[in-house]
Every structure is written in C-alpha cells, then in structure tokens.
Amino acid sequence: MQFGILGSGSWATAIAKILTDNGNTIHWWIRNSDSIHYIQKRKHNPHYLSGAYFNPVQLLLNDAIEDVIAKSDVLVIAIPSAYVADALAAVPKEAWVGKKIVSAVKGILPLSNKLLNEYMADTVGFSSENYFTLLGPCHAEEVASEKLSYLTFSGNDAAITATIAAHFKTEYINTIVNTDVIGVQYAAVLKNIYALGAGIAHGLEYGDNFLSVYIAASANEMAGFLRKISGNNPKDNGEPQNYAASVYLGDLLVTCYSLYSRNRTFGNMLGKGYSVKAAKLELNMVAEGYNASKCIYKTNSECVQANMPIATTLYSILWENCDAAEGFRKIESFLI
C-alpha cells in the first residue's frame, strides 16, 4: 500500500513522521520546491516541527500534486480547510479513480461550507466507500517528541479502516477505529470553535472553575448537534455513539486546555483585546475555529437547528463585532 501526503504544515509533517517511523516509504506533495530541497539536504521541515527528522530514503518528495496522487494508493489530505479547494482545483477527476482518501482536515471548507467528503463527492464524484478520516486527540508537537498519543480512524467499512490504521500504529501511536465518518468530522470542527472560546475566557481572566463548567456545557452542546446531524446514527452493534470517547470529548478537552492549541492561543489574544485581524497576523498560522464558527452557524441555522447558544455567541464575537466581555457575560447566563 503506497501512501501519499498532501500538505506540508505541522499536522502533515507529524503524519509523515508516523508513517515513516512505521517503515513506510511515502510520496509527499510539498508546494514549495525550496522546502523540498531543504528537507532532502537537512532531513527536517524548515518551517514546522523542526525537531522531527526523517530518513530521506523514505521520502519521495514532489511539488507536482498530480504525480503524488498517481503514485499513491492512499492519499492523506492534511491541508488546512481554507486552502483545500485551491490545492485540489487543478487535479482532474480521473486522477482520483481507484484511490482512497484519508482526511486529516480539521474543518469545513469555508467557501462551499462542506466537509471534505461532501466536496469531493460533488466535484469529482468520489465514493464514500473510499473515504476515511484520521483525527485526534493528537497535537503535532507531541507526535514530534514521541509522546504517547491516540488516533481515531473512521470509515464505512471497519475492516478496511483497520487495515489503513495499522500502517500508523507505532510505539508512541495507538489507533482506534469507528464508523461515524460524519460525526467525527463535525466534532473536530466544533472542538476548535469551543477551544477558541476557552482562549477568550482565559484572556478575559476567567479562572479554571469557570472554564471547567464552560467546557462541560460545550461538550453537551456538541453532543446535541452531533445527534441531530447524524440522525442519531448508532454504532454497528446498535448502541448509540459514545460522545465521551477520545475522538469527541478527548479532542475537545486537549484543544481547550493545551498550550499547543492555536485556537486557544487565537482566542486568548481576542480576550486580551486584540482585534480579529491583529490576532490573525500575530498568530501567523490558521486557527480553524475562526472560519468554522461561521460555517457551523450557517449549517445549524439552515439545516440542523440544534440548541447552540455557546457556539452562536462565539460566532457573534468573531464575525459580528460583539464585544468579547459582553459575549461571555451572556455565556455565563447559559451555564447557570
């Protein structure tokens, strides 16, 4: 099974480390040819996770995306959601025939307001049977330092999903399999929004006591949304989905609490008085929760209609110039 990776940011680099540490040779699309030459010479990514070193023999680097797709059986897409459509726009429909996609995208594509599987189905007719997801809780920085982490792989066929997941299992990575493809993707979107809110709360100098209540309420709100959008889709054994599992609650917790979380960092800046524009410039990285808040607001308003006062208030802070302190006074009342 030949793996290809599309993307060269911190998460893509972490995935490349996992696959190569497990003995895989990978095809890796990196847009910038200078970065390719640097990795070939210095054995690490010059811009992300510089402490993660690679054996160059295992890296087949290429700045031509079609070549990487053509030479791979399984494509791991690890491009920030805001840039996925541009990156894939020039790839012809026939290039995807016979391929499997593993999405490591942690957001909704903002221009189309679609998950990656929906976008691929609409644009190139990609089959859901060949679509899988790779989600956390798993910070790229901890992968680079080989701290024990857990990855959840989701797909419609549990056996095929498990086969793909086996290529990622290492001494520091454990893998879990489930079949909730839609639910896990929306959970990954929502946790970024709530983590951004946790950062705002920290910047406004709320304490740990408040934050624990805020996160508990966010988890409950997220579960309500997931139940509605998935139609209460049960597991294969007929039991309801366990939204306290690691890919749901675990990912929410780590993204809200960890200092590695760019969404928490972005929110912290807003709580301290930065404008959205200034925070984006200062962070110099994509905080997925920012665009996600608008996407979820639209999806919920138009389709799902779940009760989401926290996410709606965060949308108002981020997109409607609601004062952060005023917004959190409203959130305080939701938590009583």
Nearest to 28 by CA among 79, 86, 92, 93: 79
**What residue segments make up the domains of the chain, in order of their start?**
3-179, 182-334
Q: Most distant CA pair in the chain: distance in Å?
A: 58
- pLDDT, residue 55, reads 93
- pLDDT, residue 281, reads 84
- pLDDT, residue 171, reads 95
- pLDDT, residue 284, reads 74
The residue whose two tokens read 């007719």 is: 125
**Does the domain at residues 3-179 carry the CATH identifier 3.40.50.720?**
yes
- pLDDT, residue 234, reads 54
- pLDDT, residue 237, reads 55
Residues of the chain with pLDDT under 70: 231-238, 285
| 215-255 pLDDT, tens digit each | 999 999 999 999 999 865 555 555 788 999 999 999 999 99
Residue 188, C-beta contacts closer than 8 angstroms, at least 6 positions apart: 106, 107, 135, 136, 247, 251
- pLDDT, residue 310, reads 98
Pairing of strands 173-178, 59-62: unpaired
Q: If one looks up domain 182-334 in CATH, what number appears?
A: 1.10.1040.10
Q: 3-179 with 182-334: one CATH topology?
A: no
- pLDDT, residue 107, reads 86
